[in-house]
């Protein structure tokens, strides 16, 4: 079984890893990127989800 997809911020390079989540922003480990609330922002530079791209 493969790991869930990671997403990378195109502005600062932050990588959202679903395995780790973003606990500081209230996103629990195991939360897929698609399931993050639409108002979530990059914890580094503050841009929105639309500025993230799926990593291959």
Output the six-digit token pair for 32.
Answer: 């897929």
pLDDT score of 56: 82
DSSP code per residue over 3-54? PPPPEEETTT--EE-TTT-BGGGTB-TT--GGGS-TT-B-TTT--BGGGEEE
pLDDT tens for residues 16-43? 999 999 999 999 999 999 999 999 999 9
**Contact (Cβ atoms closer than 8 angstroms) between residue 53 and residue 3:** no
Tell me which residue of 4, 56, 1 sits closest to 30, measured CA to CA. 4
pTM of the model as a whole: 0.92
pLDDT score of 1: 62
């Amino acid at each position: 079984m493969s790991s869930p997809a990671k997403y990378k911020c195109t502005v600062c390079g932050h990588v959202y890893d679903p395995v780790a989540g973003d606990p500081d922003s209230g996103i629990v480990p195991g939360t897929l990127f698609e399931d993050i609330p639409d108002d979530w922002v990059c914890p580094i530079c503050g841009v929105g989800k639309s500025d993230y791209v799926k990593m291959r």
